Amino acid sequence: MLVAVGATPRVAYFHPRYGKRVRVEHWGCAKWQGEHVAGNLLEENEPYLKSPYFFDELVVRGDLAARDFTAFWMRDGQVTAAMNVNQWDDGDALKALVEGHAAVTARNLP
């Protein structure tokens, strides 16, 4: 078995959520993929589903200066990642929005 993890510039991996290979050069990948692979080597056998941070369009709702906002990363008319800052009740709705693959525009985001 060959295992490779990390923020490597020439390695792409198949991402089940997007149905294609993605390449992410970010320190977070090195950390999260390493943890994930360790689990799979211990026979957890789960797909790597962590969403990368970088996408085509970033939409922010709220007040950045006050650190009270939600950020939406979009690609091809879908929210592919979301992050809430100091908006504690939004987590489940944001997760559903990302995992639901609904067609949205920047204008009709919450």
Between 14 and 61, the higher pLDDT residue: 61
Q: What is the DSSP letter of 6?
A: S
Question: Phi, psi at residue 40, to the nearest 5°?
Answer: -70, -30
Residue pLDDT, tens place only, 28-72:
777 777 888 888 888 888 887 777 665 678 899 999 999 999 999
Decide if pLDDT at 81 tops 80: yes
Is the Cβ–Cβ distance between 32 and 50 less than 8 Å?
A: yes
CA atoms within 13 A on the CB side of 92: 1
- Residue 84: Cβ within 10 Å count: 17
- Residues composing the chain: 110
DSSP bridge partners of 81: 73
Residue 13's Cα: distance from chain center in Å?
14
pLDDT at 2: 67
Mean pLDDT of 100-110: 85
Mean pLDDT of 18-29: 76
pLDDT at 68: 94
Domain ranges of the chain: 1-51, 57-108
* Interatomic CA distance for residues 38 and 23, integer angstroms: 20
pLDDT at 86: 93
Tell me if the domain spanning 57-108 has CATH number 3.90.1150.10: no
Residue pLDDT, tens place only, 84-100:
999 888 889 998 988 88
Helix, strand, coil tally for the chain in percent (to 5) = 25, 25, 45
